[in-house]
Amino acid sequence: MKTTKTAKKIKTPDVNAHAKKVTLEMVASACGVSPSTVSRILNGTAIVSPKKREAVDRAIAALGFIPNPVARGLAGGRTLSIGVVTQAIDSPFYGVALRGIEEELGTAGYSPLFVSGHWNADEEKRCIDVLLSRRVDGLIILTGRLSDEALQRVSKATPVVVTGRNLSAPGLHSLNFNNFKGAQLATHHLLALGHRRIAFITGDPGHPDAIERMRGYRTALKAAGIPFNNALVLPGNYLEESGQMAAERLIDSREQFSAIFAANDQMAFGAALALHRRGITVPDDISLVGFDDQAGATHCIPPLTTIHQGAYELGRIAAISLLQMLAGEKPTTVMQEPRLVIRGSTRSLLTP
Amino acid sequence: MKTTKTAKKIKTPDVNAHAKKVTLEMVASACGVSPSTVSRILNGTAIVSPKKREAVDRAIAALGFIPNPVARGLAGGRTLSIGVVTQAIDSPFYGVALRGIEEELGTAGYSPLFVSGHWNADEEKRCIDVLLSRRVDGLIILTGRLSDEALQRVSKATPVVVTGRNLSAPGLHSLNFNNFKGAQLATHHLLALGHRRIAFITGDPGHPDAIERMRGYRTALKAAGIPFNNALVLPGNYLEESGQMAAERLIDSREQFSAIFAANDQMAFGAALALHRRGITVPDDISLVGFDDQAGATHCIPPLTTIHQGAYELGRIAAISLLQMLAGEKPTTVMQEPRLVIRGSTRSLLTP
DNA sequence: CTCATTTATGAAAGCGCTTTCATTTTGCGT
DNA sequence: ACGCAAAATGAAAGCGCTTTCATAAATGAG
């Protein structure tokens, strides 16, 4: 348990060692220029003679000066902090996105401020107000329920990147995953394996992506010339329990089916459990496909065939976009296309 | 670009509606007192006559004044923000703790600032410095690898609550889960079911809790008069893959065993998968117990018997403790005791 | 009813940085 | 070389709040 690695540091060179706050004024006087000049160099606000610039840079390095974000914020400059509105900080899906955001922002010197909106427009609004009062330089909003108008209003004053929408405005960039195509892919996969009676567990109808996934399912079915059967569509709300209940209801309905496509992995897990409890084996008896490819999908039993959505990449891309906006550029980022990941929960009916 | 929002003010119900920043000065002049007085009321820094106090309170409510945390921070007062150092923002276990922290802090008017230390002392130190530069009022550190000394040093200037340690100092409160007892409980459960050859997959030996869990396992074994068999102890690192590998190694070793106790749920999932792949059924052939009771444990197949650790409560308690310290009180919080949650992954050998 | 104390309150000085605004340099046209 | 526009820099005014420090009001002892 020896923390050798930390102890190893005996001879702290200089930088660290609980530096007593170096201020901008100190570096200014240290090299005989005015604070304004130092500030200008720091922010690239104006051009200063190479001579002084160099002197100041040197002084900054020598003194180990770090601008105080709080003071900057008050003075109306940047705070180097970004507000991130997620829906639940412990969401298995968004959690990974947060990591992506944190990473990308971190390397750019920004700190994220995470808040949870809990899928509630009012709460979301409040979160945003708090973030704004903390003078964040920008906002990343992961989906959420806020109205598009409210979002656009916010974006007038602060750059915003939002996922799960198709909006566009001067200070607003939106990133949308192709849920439709993803659902098509999933359904098509089952069809290709010879399944004809494919049940679908829907997501929360309050989420636009749930609707898109449903549409993808129907479209793929149609393309294969299979009539839509409403009895095979079960309502869900993206949580495990709802997947479990849906599967139970499906079994009890005595409707024939050889496969289930759940609108997200969590419901797929729930469905798998329900099937298991009824003595139905995945994939031998029933094939199962999820959506999202969240962490657990790799290690569940059987490993889940699903649509990979790359939450991590989503987070990174959102962060990069915002950084670009902050730099005055137009975001050039694009979302990954959905990708089918075949694991062990689906089986072909064609080659028995 | 019409700033309709400002003009809109005609019928503003009252509170919300994009209030144009009300400042402390405004409320001060609104009721004819000095800013100092308002500030004093806000912070309870000094006693002011009931007359003015009431007038000010009313003005604050009427104007919908909200103190600017950034300005407060600069002026040396509180920022109403708490730095939270987690190890990975997307950890299934700590994620839930973060939710607890967020919730508890939120109702007290504080905002958490989450940062990830990635189980790396240096990075953790850097995180803390960033948080400090943002003038957080307090720090919650979830386990982590920072040395106790470093922690104590930090706590000299800022109140700190840390989990997974047994430290105590003026500004430092620590919260430790009884890993030893938890592991005893798990092992004992298996013993009570008649298991005698119980394998153990260890956690990352760099974590003190992993060592405690191991100790609990050995102690329970000893208490049952079962000799410790080193061949039944497999090294793990708390990740699924390591659980999977451990189980494989165990099977290949041809050592006899009827149960596996994994030092956390993630490794239990991995082990379950490995067993499944080798055609071994849980719990019919082998019983399996995890540790942590993380979200997935309820919905995996079969649902995992495990030790409940209440990450959510942990987060809440940490937050409450810090809030108490901030209020000048001594924290009175205590951690929950470990609790065995019996689900479907264990089976009795006694009544076949 | 006066003078020394204690309170309540206000004025003003920052906190560390950004940003006008004014001033000093520098560059150029003629 | 002279004057004027453009460029570089400094002085100073905040950002919104907390906090001495000082003043005015209130309390009380003599």
Write out pLDDT tens, residues A88-140. 999 999 999 999 999 999 999 899 999 999 999 999 999 998 898 888 999 99
Work out the minimum CA distance from A103 to partner chain B, whole angstroms: 9
The two structure tokens encoding residue A260: 């289930």
The two structure tokens encoding residue A190: 């089952």
Per-residue confidence at B37, pLDDT binned at 50, 70, 90? very high
Taking the Cβ of residue A238 and every Cβ of chain B, the question of whether any pair is shorter than 8 Å is answered with: no
Question: Which residue is closest to D12 in terms of CA–C1' distance?
Answer: A36
Tell me the β-bridge partners of A259. A198, A287
Q: Which nucleotide is nearest to B40 (CA to C1')?
A: D18
Nucleotides of C under 7 A from a protein CB: 7-12, 14-20
Per-residue confidence at B21, pLDDT binned at 50, 70, 90? confident
Query: What ranges in A65-169 are assigned the alpha helix state H?
Result: 69-74, 92-107, 121-133, 148-157
The two structure tokens encoding residue B89: 């923002």
The residue whose two tokens read 């730099």 is A327
Q: Which residues of B touch A69 (CB under 8 A)?
A: 133-134
CA distances from A109 to A88, A183, A186 (A): 25, 37, 39
The residue whose two tokens read 């069809």 is A191
Helix (H), strand (E) counts: chain A: 13, 12
How far apart are the C-alpha atoms of B125 and B147, rounded to whole Å?
10
Nucleotides of D under 7 A from a protein CB: 7-12, 14-20
Neighbours of B201 (CB within 10 A): 31
Whether residue A208 has a cis bond before it, omega within 30° of 0: no
pLDDT of amino acid B99: 97
The answer to whether the beta carbons of residues A79 and A111 sit under 8 Å apart is no
CB-neighbour burial class of residue A32 (10 A; exposed 0-12, middle 13-18, buried 19+): exposed
Q: Would the Cβ of B35 be found within 7 angstroms of any atom in strand C?
A: yes
Taking the Cβ of residue A344 and every Cβ of chain B, the question of whether any pair is shorter than 8 Å is answered with: no
Q: Would the Cβ of B65 be found within 7 angstroms of any atom in strand D?
A: yes
Q: What DSSP element (H or E) covers B164?
A: none
Work out the average pLDDT over A322-349. 93
The two structure tokens encoding residue B331: 């924290």
Question: Which residue is closest to D14 in terms of CA–C1' distance?
Answer: A75
**A-contacting residues of B 101-140, CB under 8 Å?**
102, 111-116, 121-122, 125, 130, 133-135
Farthest CA pair distance, chain A:
85
pLDDT of amino acid A78: 85
Per-residue confidence at A20, pLDDT binned at 50, 70, 90? low
Do A70 and B70 lie within an 8 Å CB cutoff? yes
Higher pLDDT, A7 or B349: B349
The two structure tokens encoding residue A168: 């566009």
Q: Which nucleotide is nearest to A78 (CA to C1')?
A: C18
CA distances from B215 to A203, B75, B144, B205 (A): 45, 50, 21, 12
Handedness of CA B344, B350, B351, B352 (dihedral sign): positive
Per-residue confidence at A14, pLDDT binned at 50, 70, 90? very low
Residue of B nearest to A269 (CA): B299
- Give the predicted TM-score (pTM) of the model: 0.88
Do B96 and A115 lie within an 8 Å CB cutoff? no
Work out the average pLDDT over A63-67. 91
Work out the average pLDDT over A184-188. 98
CA distances from B262 to A92, A109, B214 (A): 22, 39, 10
Percentage of residues in chain A having pLDDT higher than 70 = 94
The answer to whether the beta carbons of residues B132 and B158 sit under 8 Å apart is yes
pLDDT score of A318 more than 50: yes
pLDDT of amino acid B9: 31
Distance in angstroms: CA A47, C1' C28: 20
Higher pLDDT, A14 or B339: B339
Taking the Cβ of residue A271 and every Cβ of chain B, the question of whether any pair is shorter than 8 Å is answered with: no
Tell me the β-bridge partners of B141. B85, B162
Do B298 and A240 lie within an 8 Å CB cutoff? yes
Write out pLDDT tens, residues B204-242. 998 889 999 999 999 999 999 999 999 999 999 999 999
Q: Would the Cβ of A25 be found within 7 angstroms of any atom in strand C?
A: yes
Query: What ranges in chain B are assigned the alpha helix state H?
Result: 4-7, 24-30, 35-43, 50-63, 69-74, 92-107, 121-133, 148-157, 179-192, 208-223, 240-252, 265-277, 311-326
Per-residue confidence at B20, pLDDT binned at 50, 70, 90? low
Of how many residues is chain B composed?
352
Taking the Cβ of residue B71 and every Cβ of chain A, the question of whether any pair is shorter than 8 Å is answered with: yes
Do A133 and B69 lie within an 8 Å CB cutoff? yes
DSSP for B132-161 reads HHTT-SEEEE-S-S--HHHHHHHHHHS-EE
Distance in angstroms: CA A111, C1' D28: 57
Work out the average pLDDT over A298-311. 96
Q: Would the Cβ of B49 be found within 7 angstroms of any atom in strand D?
A: no
Distance in angstroms: CA B133, C1' D10: 28
Q: Which residues of A touch B85 (CB under 8 A)?
A: none
Lowest mean pLDDT among B18-27, B181-190, B246-255, B304-313: B18-27
Do B74 and A74 lie within an 8 Å CB cutoff? yes
